[in-house]
Amino acid sequence: MSKVLGLNGNAAAAHAMRQINPHVVAAYPITPQTDCVERFAEFVSEGLVDTEFVTVESEHSALSACIGAAAAGGRVMTATSSQGLALMWEMLYIAASMRLPIVMMVVNRALSGNINIHCDHSDTMGARDAGWIQLFSENAQEVYDNMIQAVRIAEDMRVRLPVMVTQDGFIISHAVERVELLDDDAVKNFVGPYRPLYPLLDVRNPVTYGPLDLFDYYFEHKRSEIEAIDNCLPVIEEVGKEFGKLSGRSYGLLEEYRLEDAEYTVVALGSTCGTAKEAVDRLRDRGKKVGLLKIRCFRPFPKDEVIRALAPRKGVAVLDRSVVFGGFGGPVFTEIRSALYDLPSRPLVIDFYYGLGGRDVYVEDIEKAFARIEEVVRAGRVEKHIDYLGLRE
Amino acid sequence: MEKPLEIRWHGRGGQGVVTASRILADALLREGKYFQAFPEYGPERMGAPVKAYNRVSSTPIRIHSGVTNPEMVVVVDPTLLGAVDVLEGLAENGTVVANFPGTPADLRNLLHFPSGTVVVVDASRISREILGRVVVNTPILGALCRVLPEVKLENVLEAVKAQFGEKLRAEVVEKNLACLRRAYEEAQIG
């Protein structure tokens, strides 16, 4: 029997962690993630989990402890935000290249400077090339569901990679909504017992992690890491379907909202997708053929599925909640536009930077993005590839 | 999807408006409704004006932007009336629920709000009488109940019990519930 509670995104993540009952959690508090780790620490002190909770002096140490514990052979989780994720940067690559199935909840928050505690995606986008799987969540329910699926995905013997589950800072992390929790036993059965692979604590079968790896084999090891992350798309889909059978909520790599006959599409990640669905409904009521493509899995980038979803459209407006300074558009735009390049006939694509540092995004902003892409298609060419939504100029 | 009803709370840091919005969310959960409860986060300063929000609907709520045009505002601290623009974005036929010692007509004059609905209750006095100190967030929920048909008083009382049951002594919880009931009865609508 599942039960419905009123929880914010942080609490939803903490409950998922309680039900997953990992061997080790090492974390350092940072706004807006703190609330999640505090709640989990309460579960530890109340004896509701068996987890060894390691309080550390920084996020660099948090992820280092996670890497050690995962290499030792344990199921390991952590959580962070913003500067915390930035401080983990060098360890992110090490966790992925050691193929350690760590699950990390990231509450998306802008990077300094200037100091800002509110949502944008610059923290996780800064980690997009580190070899971690990245799943974005639209609401607190998806945070909970993604956390549980992340364990299965990370630990699948065809994957064995770390996974980041993200949620938008404050917008989701601190907003109380209805969240349906599965039974503790249902989650326990779904994630299953942990199966260690080459654990350091198996002293009869000694192994080496993280050795010096120079021009002789480093390149081949990177090649195998590339293949590992590319190969996990079918596993993410499989786990999403199986989770659907358990919960009634199925997950794919993408979510297509009213896209079947859409001429114009917005592409977005995270909480903005909910607001964009409202915009789509309003414009559909006015007879506009519009839809939304929500990217749930950003890493690995589901290129083929994106091409399938976007190829028949006339115009695509990408919403980027983080900046690539000096680049040709935001991280989502560059992926989308590049994926569509080989099509014999392809939609026109424009990019909007929006919502940096927690700048609010309204239904009207997304309606503006649709209006602009419609104009671009009518003109038949893109004059301005990158523009802004909700910016004062 | 129906358009959610939107509520904005005004209070001062430390008065518990975020808690009040969460208690309302819990009461709505008990009603089988869909809801959101979220604060406006900034630097947290005791005594500074703060806001919190609720959305209420009988269908799932997908929108995640801030509330700019609420149907209802709830003011838990009377010193905010006139100090901040509590009517900002409120429709002419909107509702103001306030902790206020005067009559609905007095509040209408103070706010220059001749239309819509006004609900007043002297929550500060009620809590001083029952609890011996001023606690404004729980009593005001009683007044809000009078004009929010989506939620029944008994579910708000249950939600308050759930919120404070483990943190406060049973008699203090009882007194909080008494405040809420009294505010429900004394609230004047005009």
Domain of A74, CATH number, reads 3.40.50.970
A194 and A303 in one domain? no
Question: Does the beta carbon of B1 lie under 8 angstroms from any beta carbon of chain A?
Answer: yes
Contact A176 B63 (CB under 8 A): no
Predicted local distance difference test score (pLDDT) of residue B43: 67
CB contacts < 8 A (A, B): 65
Can you tell me the distance from the alpha carbon of B91 to that of B159, in angstroms, rounded to the nearest whole number? 29
Can you tell me the distance from the alpha carbon of A235 to that of A232, in angstroms, rounded to the nearest whole number? 5
Span A156-194, pLDDT tens digits: 999 999 999 999 999 999 999 999 999 999 999 999 999
A315 and A176 in one domain? no
* Domain positions in chain B: 5-189
Contact A288, A370 (CB under 8 A): yes
Predicted local distance difference test score (pLDDT) of residue A264: 98
A28: Cβ contacts below 8 Å, ≥ 6 apart: A55, A56, A57, A58, A59, A61, A62, A80, A84
**Among B155, B187, B136, CA closest to B24:** B155
Contact A362 B29 (CB under 8 A): no
Q: What pLDDT tens digit does each residue of chain B (190 aa) get?
A: 789 999 999 999 999 999 999 999 999 999 999 999 999 877 668 899 999 999 999 999 999 999 999 999 999 999 999 899 999 999 999 999 999 999 999 999 999 999 999 999 999 999 999 999 999 999 999 999 999 999 999 999 999 999 998 889 999 999 999 999 999 999 999 9
Q: What pLDDT tens digit does each residue of chain A (393 aa) get?
A: 789 999 999 999 999 999 999 999 999 999 999 999 999 999 999 999 999 999 999 999 999 999 999 999 999 999 999 999 999 999 999 999 999 999 999 999 999 999 999 999 999 999 999 999 999 999 999 999 999 999 999 999 999 999 999 999 999 999 999 999 999 999 999 999 999 999 999 999 999 999 999 999 999 999 999 999 999 999 999 999 999 999 999 999 999 999 999 999 999 999 999 999 999 999 999 999 999 999 999 999 999 999 999 999 999 999 999 999 999 999 999 999 999 999 999 999 999 999 999 999 999 999 999 999 999 999 999 999 999 999 998
A46: chain B residues, CB-CB within 8 Å: none
Residues of chain A contacting B, Cβ within 8 Å: 4-6, 8, 32, 117-118, 139, 168, 170-172, 174-178, 271-272, 274-275, 277-278, 281, 360-363
Q: Which of A201, A218, A247 is the last residue of a domain?
A: A247
Contact B35 A139 (CB under 8 A): no
Separation of CA A288 from chain center: 30
Can you tell me the distance from the alpha carbon of A257 to that of A281, in angstroms, rounded to the nearest whole number? 10
Which of A32, A176, A363 has its CB closest to that of B63? A363
Helices (H), A156-232: 184-191, 218-230
A179 and A57 in one domain? yes
Buried b / exposed e over A299-336, threshold 16 CB at 10 Å, is bbbbeebbbebbeebbbbbbbbbbbbeeeebbbbbbbb
A289 and A198 in one domain? no
A281: chain B residues, CB-CB within 8 Å: 1
A168: chain B residues, CB-CB within 8 Å: 64
**CATH 3.40.920.10 matches B5-189:** yes
Can you tell me the distance from the alpha carbon of A348 to that of A65, in angstroms, rounded to the nearest whole number? 46
A59 and A111 in one domain? yes
In angstroms, how far apart are the furthest CA atoms of chain B?
Answer: 45
Residue in A closest to B61 by C-alpha:
A274
Which of A170, A174, A278 has its CB closest to that of B63? A278
Contact B68 A362 (CB under 8 A): yes
What's A321's domain CATH number? 3.40.50.920
Can you tell me the distance from the alpha carbon of A81 to that of A46, in angstroms, rounded to the nearest whole number? 26
Q: Which domain holds residue A356?
A: 254-389
Which of B1, B38, B41 has its CB closest to that of A176? B38
A241 and A259 in one domain? no
A243 and A264 in one domain? no
A363: chain B residues, CB-CB within 8 Å: 63, 65
Q: pTM higher than 0.90 for the full model?
A: yes
Q: DSSP of A89-135, one letter per residue?
A: HHHHHHHHHTT---EEEEEE-PPSSS---S--SHHHHHTTTSS-EEE
Separation of CA A268 from chain center: 12
Can you tell me the distance from the alpha carbon of A315 to that of A322, in angstroms, rounded to the nearest whole number? 22
A241 and A264 in one domain? no
Q: How many domains, in total, are found in chain A?
A: 2
Can you tell me the distance from the alpha carbon of A235 to that of B77, in angstroms, rounded to the nearest whole number? 54
